[in-house]
Protein backbone atom coordinates (compact mmCIF):
# COMPACT_ATOMS: atom_id res chain seq x y z
CA UNK A 1 0.00 0.00 0.00
CA UNK A 2 1.36 3.36 -0.96
CA UNK A 3 2.23 5.77 1.79
CA UNK A 4 0.05 8.51 0.56
CA UNK A 5 -2.96 6.16 0.81
CA UNK A 6 -1.97 5.19 4.35
CA UNK A 7 -1.74 8.90 5.25
CA UNK A 8 -5.19 9.63 3.76
CA UNK A 9 -6.76 6.65 5.55
CA UNK A 10 -5.02 7.54 8.80
CA UNK A 11 -6.12 11.18 8.51
CA UNK A 12 -9.72 10.13 7.73
CA UNK A 13 -9.73 7.71 10.66
CA UNK A 14 -8.31 10.40 12.94
CA UNK A 15 -10.90 12.98 11.81
CA UNK A 16 -13.70 10.46 12.28
CA UNK A 17 -12.42 9.65 15.75
CA UNK A 18 -12.21 13.37 16.65
CA UNK A 19 -15.75 14.00 15.29
CA UNK A 20 -17.10 11.05 17.25
CA UNK A 21 -15.37 12.18 20.44
CA UNK A 22 -16.70 15.73 19.88
CA UNK A 23 -20.26 14.56 19.26
CA UNK A 24 -20.49 11.95 22.03
CA UNK A 25 -18.22 13.33 24.74
CA UNK A 26 -17.11 16.96 24.47
CA UNK A 27 -20.37 18.61 23.28
CA UNK A 28 -22.63 16.86 25.87
CA UNK A 29 -20.12 17.69 28.60
CA UNK A 30 -20.16 21.37 27.54
CA UNK A 31 -23.99 21.40 27.66
CA UNK A 32 -23.90 19.74 31.07
CA UNK A 33 -21.51 22.38 32.37
CA UNK A 34 -23.74 25.21 31.07
CA UNK A 35 -26.80 23.58 32.63
CA UNK A 36 -24.99 23.09 35.92
CA UNK A 37 -23.96 26.76 35.97
CA UNK A 38 -27.60 27.80 35.52
CA UNK A 39 -28.80 25.40 38.26
CA UNK A 40 -26.14 26.33 40.82
CA UNK A 41 -27.95 29.40 42.27
CA UNK A 42 -31.13 27.38 42.71
CA UNK A 43 -29.25 24.51 44.32
CA UNK A 44 -27.51 26.94 46.71
CA UNK A 45 -30.86 28.48 47.71
CA UNK A 46 -32.45 25.06 48.24
CA UNK A 47 -29.48 23.96 50.31
CA UNK A 48 -29.80 27.03 52.54
CA UNK A 49 -33.58 26.67 52.94
CA UNK A 50 -33.50 22.97 53.71
CA UNK A 51 -30.31 23.05 55.81
CA UNK A 52 -32.30 22.76 59.05
CA UNK A 53 -34.83 20.23 57.72
CA UNK A 54 -33.74 16.68 58.54
CA UNK A 55 -35.56 15.05 55.59
CA UNK A 56 -36.10 17.62 52.82
CA UNK A 57 -37.56 15.09 50.41
CA UNK A 58 -40.39 14.41 52.88
CA UNK A 59 -41.33 18.10 52.60
CA UNK A 60 -41.32 17.83 48.81
CA UNK A 61 -43.46 14.69 49.05
CA UNK A 62 -45.95 16.57 51.24
CA UNK A 63 -46.08 19.41 48.72
CA UNK A 64 -46.64 16.95 45.87
CA UNK A 65 -49.37 15.14 47.81
CA UNK A 66 -51.26 18.45 48.25
CA UNK A 67 -51.72 18.61 44.48
CA UNK A 68 -53.43 15.23 44.26
CA UNK A 69 -57.06 14.69 45.22
CA UNK A 70 -57.61 12.80 48.44
CA UNK A 71 -61.29 13.18 49.16
CA UNK A 72 -61.54 16.79 50.23
CA UNK A 73 -58.61 18.09 52.28
CA UNK A 74 -55.91 18.61 49.64
CA UNK A 75 -55.23 21.88 47.85
CA UNK A 76 -56.36 20.26 44.61
CA UNK A 77 -59.74 19.44 46.16
CA UNK A 78 -60.08 23.03 47.35
CA UNK A 79 -59.27 24.30 43.86
CA UNK A 80 -61.84 21.91 42.37
CA UNK A 81 -64.50 23.13 44.82
CA UNK A 82 -63.66 26.77 44.07
CA UNK A 83 -63.92 26.06 40.36
CA UNK A 84 -67.34 24.45 40.80
CA UNK A 85 -68.50 27.35 42.99
CA UNK A 86 -67.29 29.84 40.38
CA UNK A 87 -69.34 28.06 37.72
CA UNK A 88 -72.44 28.16 39.94
CA UNK A 89 -71.84 31.84 40.69
CA UNK A 90 -71.45 32.59 36.99
CA UNK A 91 -74.84 31.03 36.21
CA UNK A 92 -76.42 32.81 39.19
CA UNK A 93 -74.93 36.08 37.96
CA UNK A 94 -76.49 35.49 34.55
CA UNK A 95 -79.90 34.86 36.14
CA UNK A 96 -79.50 37.97 38.27
CA UNK A 97 -78.55 39.98 35.20
CA UNK A 98 -81.75 38.83 33.44
CA UNK A 99 -83.85 39.66 36.51
CA UNK A 100 -82.34 43.13 36.75
CA UNK A 101 -83.12 43.77 33.09
CA UNK A 102 -86.69 42.53 33.57
CA UNK A 103 -87.09 44.82 36.60
CA UNK A 104 -85.76 47.74 34.60
CA UNK A 105 -88.23 47.09 31.78
CA UNK A 106 -91.12 46.78 34.25
CA UNK A 107 -90.08 50.06 35.85
CA UNK A 108 -90.15 51.76 32.46
CA UNK A 109 -93.64 50.36 31.79
CA UNK A 110 -94.79 51.42 35.25
CA UNK A 111 -93.53 54.97 34.68
CA UNK A 112 -95.34 55.13 31.32
CA UNK A 113 -98.59 53.83 32.88
CA UNK A 114 -98.22 56.31 35.74
CA UNK A 115 -97.79 59.16 33.27
CA UNK A 116 -100.94 58.08 31.38
CA UNK A 117 -102.91 57.80 34.63
CA UNK A 118 -101.68 61.21 35.77
CA UNK A 119 -102.88 62.76 32.50
CA UNK A 120 -106.26 61.04 32.83
CA UNK A 121 -106.56 62.20 36.46
CA UNK A 122 -105.74 65.76 35.42
CA UNK A 123 -108.44 65.64 32.74
CA UNK A 124 -110.95 64.20 35.21
CA UNK A 125 -110.11 66.90 37.74
CA UNK A 126 -110.59 69.60 35.13
CA UNK A 127 -113.97 68.14 34.09
CA UNK A 128 -115.02 67.82 37.74
CA UNK A 129 -114.04 71.44 38.37
CA UNK A 130 -116.12 72.52 35.35
CA UNK A 131 -119.11 70.49 36.56
CA UNK A 132 -118.78 71.93 40.06
CA UNK A 133 -118.83 75.43 38.61
CA UNK A 134 -121.94 74.61 36.55
CA UNK A 135 -123.73 73.10 39.56
CA UNK A 136 -122.90 76.16 41.63
CA UNK A 137 -124.24 78.38 38.86
CA UNK A 138 -127.39 76.25 38.44
CA UNK A 139 -126.49 75.60 34.81
CA UNK A 140 -126.45 71.80 34.86
CA UNK A 141 -127.52 69.83 31.82
CA UNK A 142 -128.90 66.38 32.17
CA UNK A 143 -126.59 63.58 31.18
CA UNK A 144 -127.52 60.83 28.77
CA UNK A 145 -127.44 58.36 31.62
CA UNK A 146 -129.99 60.33 33.60
CA UNK A 147 -132.24 60.59 30.53
CA UNK A 148 -132.01 56.84 29.91
CA UNK A 149 -132.81 56.13 33.56
CA UNK A 150 -135.92 58.28 33.38
CA UNK A 151 -137.08 56.50 30.17
CA UNK A 152 -136.64 53.08 31.78
CA UNK A 153 -138.66 54.22 34.81
CA UNK A 154 -141.43 55.54 32.57
CA UNK A 155 -141.53 52.30 30.54
CA UNK A 156 -141.76 50.27 33.73
CA UNK A 157 -144.61 52.39 35.04
CA UNK A 158 -146.55 51.99 31.76
CA UNK A 159 -145.97 48.21 31.81
CA UNK A 160 -147.51 48.06 35.30
CA UNK A 161 -150.47 50.08 34.15
CA UNK A 162 -151.04 47.75 31.15
CA UNK A 163 -150.84 44.69 33.40
CA UNK A 164 -153.33 46.20 35.83
CA UNK A 165 -155.74 47.12 33.02
CA UNK A 166 -156.08 43.51 31.80
CA UNK A 167 -158.76 41.50 33.54
CA UNK A 168 -158.71 37.78 33.51
CA UNK A 169 -155.86 35.37 33.21
CA UNK A 170 -152.44 36.25 34.75
CA UNK A 171 -150.66 35.23 31.54
CA UNK A 172 -152.58 37.83 29.54
CA UNK A 173 -151.57 40.48 32.04
CA UNK A 174 -147.91 39.47 31.70
CA UNK A 175 -148.19 39.59 27.92
CA UNK A 176 -149.70 43.05 28.09
CA UNK A 177 -146.97 44.22 30.45
CA UNK A 178 -144.24 42.88 28.21
CA UNK A 179 -145.34 44.84 25.18
CA UNK A 180 -143.42 48.03 24.71
CA UNK A 181 -144.73 51.31 23.51
CA UNK A 182 -143.49 50.41 20.02
CA UNK A 183 -145.70 47.29 19.92
CA UNK A 184 -148.73 49.37 20.79
CA UNK A 185 -147.98 51.84 18.03
CA UNK A 186 -147.99 49.09 15.41
Tell me the C-alpha distance between 30 and 168, whole Å: 140
Q: Would you say residue 186 has pLDDT above 50?
A: no
Averaged pLDDT for residues 68-87: 85
Q: Would you say residue 183 has pLDDT above 60?
A: no
8 Å CB contact between 61 and 50: no
Domain ranges within the chain, ordered by starting residue: 1-51, 99-141, 142-186
pLDDT of residue 58: 81
| Residue of 38, 59, 56 lying closest to 47 (CA atoms) | 56
| Integer CA distances (angstroms), 71 to 79, 120, 171, in order | 12, 68, 94
pLDDT of residue 185: 42
CB-based contacts of 56: which residues, under 8 Å, 6+ apart? 46, 50
Q: pLDDT tens for residues 15-33? A: 999 999 999 999 999 999 9
Q: Would you say residue 136 has pLDDT above 50?
A: yes
Q: pLDDT tens for residues 102-126? A: 999 999 999 999 999 999 999 999 9
pLDDT of residue 169: 63
Amino acid sequence: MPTWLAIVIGTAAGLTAIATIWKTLIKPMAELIVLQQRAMPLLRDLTQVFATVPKPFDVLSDIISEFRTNGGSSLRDVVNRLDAAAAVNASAAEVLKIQVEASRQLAVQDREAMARLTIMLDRLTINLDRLTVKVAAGDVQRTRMEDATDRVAEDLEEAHKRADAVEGHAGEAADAASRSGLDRAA
